[in-house]
Structure 1
Amino acid sequence: MILPNVLKCNSKCVLFSVLMIFNQLAFAVTRGLLIDVDNLKVTKPLMAATIAGEALSGWKSNTVTVANSPGISNTLYLNLSAMSNAVGSYSEEGKNYMVFDIKDDSGVSSGVGFILRVSSYLCLFGGCWGSNGDIAVGNTELEISPTKDFDFAQVIYSVKLIATGAEIKSSYSVPDWQIGVLSFWGTQSANRVVVMRGFNINYTKTGCVASAYPSSINMGVVSVAQLTNSRSVAALLPVTVSLKCDSGIGVYASMTDLSDPGNSKENLTLIPSTNTAKGVAVRFLDENQNAISYGPPSAFVGSLNQWKVKSSSDPNEVSFKLYPQYVMTGTASDVTPGDANAMASITFAYE
């Protein structure tokens, strides 16, 4: 039985600088939650649709205190008017998010979208009780707390910027934009708008060009006995990834499981087929023979499971090797022969 493994290496290189500053406001029906975003700088050798779904920033959070009338039972809801601008999805650590496009007043896409997660603590003046956990926003109406009597609530908003794949112009100004409404529903009603403040996006054409050889690896014929005796079987040749970069930039890399972009473990997810092998997985080792853990496609330094490729003072042309192998995921009795295909991509971030 031939158990092929396929690696697809997509060159994705983005440099950015993003900072979100949230204004914490005491609750009032007439005042809104303002989300301030610093100017965004995108640096990339080529603009292509392959950047769709890349994270351009990390999570930025703000805790907002929302007051309630004593002895009143209410439920907190978030209604996203931005839902009509949904342009795709994003997965991270097992959670799926809707990506909302950021457009100007004429409806032109900025090429940048956002995802949102919300959690809350309900509080009495004597203290607060447990959070309902981080909720990935993907519905028009999202209940973010149960119906209870409470004096005030602490609502935590976390925002991340995502590339939509649309062209990012050399210079672009995003206006203020109401993205939703936070509401009390119950015996007392109140609304509070959620506004993302305007910011500027600038794109500079520079970065690295990447290539991988081989980009498709055939592992050959691997018997069950061979795998169970050694617990892992390596490919005959490693994958060599080469970079040609502009001067003075540091480069970081991360790998993404294309069958499950939210996978943050060491084993890739096998592509389903009519005869998928069981009890076996594909993984990659780095040059120190350590297993690589996967993460979302992120174009910012500091992303999950990212590693450093070169510093800004290193030569502009560098390369590194990845070592694919099959590995048992359980006991020998769990291994069933069949197809074991997997795909991964590599994303590069600059500093």
Structure 2
Amino acid sequence: MTIPNQNSLNISGPADANRVGVQIGNWGGLVTDRQAFAIDSCSETISFSYAVPEGVPIGGLTHISEGVSYPVFRTGVPGVGYVIGIRDPNSSQWKSVAPPQTQIFPGPGTGSVAPTTLGFTAQVKFIATDRIKSGVYSAPLQKVATLRVTTRTGKPMASDVPLYIKAFTVTAATQGCSLTQGAIQNINLPPATLHSFAGPQSNSVQSVPFSMSLTCDADVSVYATMTDATTPSNTGNVLSRSPDSTALGFGIQLFKNGESSPIKFGPDSSSIGTLNQWYVGKSASTGTVFRIPFVAKYIKQGAEATAGTLRASSTITFSYQ
């Protein structure tokens, strides 16, 4: 069985406009074969049918549709994955093709009497898995699952039937930005003493400004997320000390210039809605430049403190929506 789909898929707009885990447009296809298996036997009838996925799902990524959770598999095209839904033609309830296998018959709407012929309705949906970069990409005909039927004891009743999605091409013309200043920066805060702080949870008098610049295509909404490079799971507002730091009771905070609240950190992800992602601005035309100023400051975290060196690092991820 081969699930039909568009021969050519076209993507345009900002590079991160397709939300990760969501179907891209209405791309996909559906096929029904009511007699995929026919058992030429008077002594035995089909008891179970299964779909066994061919690929390995992308870890931590699922697609939800009509209350069904689907693992997402790679197509080989960067940023584009697929999910497979399957059901008996007599059933209205979709099931996700997921490891290690998915039972199709018996199921809702299929009746209780095992048939001598059995079919499937299968659908593919194409899902955003990451940023889709401009380019032309080709995905070959690929086997995505194996369909099989067995007796109640697990004995095969017929030869397996492979399930394919046909070859397709993706042409992406996406918009984004280029980082034109500040890609790698070493920021040296001057030495601070205890007298530089008003007390616990206060910032130092000392601070250092820094900035970065982006040059963008037209009509791109730019968002940003700062990530703690030492502890990427940190969602607070104080950078983790690097292992070679010796000072205790102090930390480093980053501020957007002119703001009194420090930046909260989030995952290193360009996906729409990433935790603690903030809005930078929207480009009016090709060549729009965004200069993003920041300030770094010490913070005294508690009553007890020990002098020494303090190092921390962060990364920034831009999202083009």
TM-score class normalised by the smaller sequence: 0.5 to 0.7
Q: Does 1:257 align with 2:225?
A: no
- Partners of 1:215 and 1:195 lie apart in 2 by 49
Match of 2:266 in 1: 295
More helix by share: 1
- Partners of 1:199 and 1:316 lie apart in 2 by 35
Q: What is the identity, as a one-letter code, of the residue corresponding to 1:252? A: Y
Pairing 1:138-153 to 2, within 5 Å after superposition: none
Shift of 1:309: 0.8
- Partners of 2:288 and 2:53 lie apart in 1 by 45
Q: What is the identity, as a one-letter code, of the residue corresponding to 2:50? A: T
Number of residue pairs matched by the alignment: 232
Aligned pair in 2 of structure 1 residues 17, 271: CA closer, same or farther (>3 Å)?
same
Match of 2:139 in 1: 174
Check whether the contact 2:16–2:131 (CA below 8 A) recurs between aligned residues: no
**Partner deviation per Cα, 1:322-343 (whole Å, 9 max, x = no partner):** 12112133x212x222222111
Q: Does 1:161 align with 2:129?
A: yes
**Partner deviation per Cα, 1:15-56 (whole Å, 9 max, x = no partner):** 342533999xxxx64235799xxxxxxxxxxxxxxxxxxxxx
- Partners of 1:247 and 1:263 lie apart in 2 by 33
Check whether the contact 1:14–1:348 (CA below 8 A) recurs between aligned residues: no
- Partners of 1:216 and 1:269 lie apart in 2 by 16
Match of 2:309 in 1: 339
- Partners of 2:283 and 2:222 lie apart in 1 by 8
- Partners of 1:264 and 1:197 lie apart in 2 by 43
| SS of equivalent residue, structure 1 residue 294 | coil
CA RMSD of aligned residues (A): 5.0
- Partners of 1:225 and 1:194 lie apart in 2 by 71
Q: Does 1:325 align with 2:290?
A: no
Check whether the contact 1:256–1:297 (CA below 8 A) recurs between aligned residues: yes
Match of 2:93 in 1: none
Match of 1:61 in 2: 64
Shift of 1:280: 1.9
Given candidates 205, 208, 214, the residue that maps to 2:177 is 208
Considering Cα pairs closer than 8 Å and 6+ residues apart, tell me whether 1 or 2 has the greater RCO. Answer: 1
- Partners of 2:315 and 2:296 lie apart in 1 by 13
Given candidates 279, 282, 297, the residue that maps to 2:252 is 282
Match of 1:241 in 2: 212
- Partners of 1:283 and 1:195 lie apart in 2 by 52
Match of 2:41 in 1: none
- Partners of 1:227 and 1:344 lie apart in 2 by 23
- Partners of 2:227 and 2:283 lie apart in 1 by 24
Q: What is the identity, as a one-letter code, of the residue corresponding to 1:339? A: T
Pairing 1:124-135 to 2, within 5 Å after superposition: none
Match of 1:220 in 2: 190
Q: What is the identity, as a one-letter code, of the residue corresponding to 1:170? A: G
Shift of 1:64: 4.4
Look at both structures and tell me which one has the larger radius of gyration over its CA atoms. Answer: 2
Pairing 1:61-140 to 2, within 5 Å after superposition: 61=64, 64=68, 103=76, 110-112=77-79
Shift of 1:258: 1.4
Query: What's the TM-score, normalizing by structure 1?
Result: 0.50
- Partners of 1:281 and 1:180 lie apart in 2 by 52
Shift of 1:252: 0.9
- Partners of 2:278 and 2:312 lie apart in 1 by 21
Which segments of 5 or more consecutive residues in structure 2 lack a partner in the other structure?
1-13, 30-47, 82-98, 101-126, 147-152, 155-161
- Partners of 1:197 and 1:340 lie apart in 2 by 56
**Partner deviation per Cα, 1:283-320 (whole Å, 9 max, x = no partner):** 21123222211112222332221111112448812222
Single out whichever of 193-202 and 263-272 deviates more from structure 2. Answer: 193-202
Check whether the contact 2:230–2:240 (CA below 8 A) recurs between aligned residues: yes
| SS of equivalent residue, structure 2 residue 199 | helix
Which segments of 5 or more consecutive residues in structure 1 lack a partner in the other structure?
1-12, 36-56, 66-77, 83-100, 104-109, 115-140, 143-158, 182-187
Overall identity of the aligned pairs, in % = 21
| SS of equivalent residue, structure 2 residue 192 | coil
Single out whichever of 316-325 and 14-23 deviates more from structure 2. Answer: 14-23
Q: What is the identity, as a one-letter code, of the residue corresponding to 1:317? A: V
| SS of equivalent residue, structure 1 residue 269 | coil
Match of 2:18 in 1: 17
Check whether the contact 1:58–1:303 (CA below 8 A) recurs between aligned residues: no
Query: What's the TM-score, normalizing by structure 2?
Result: 0.54
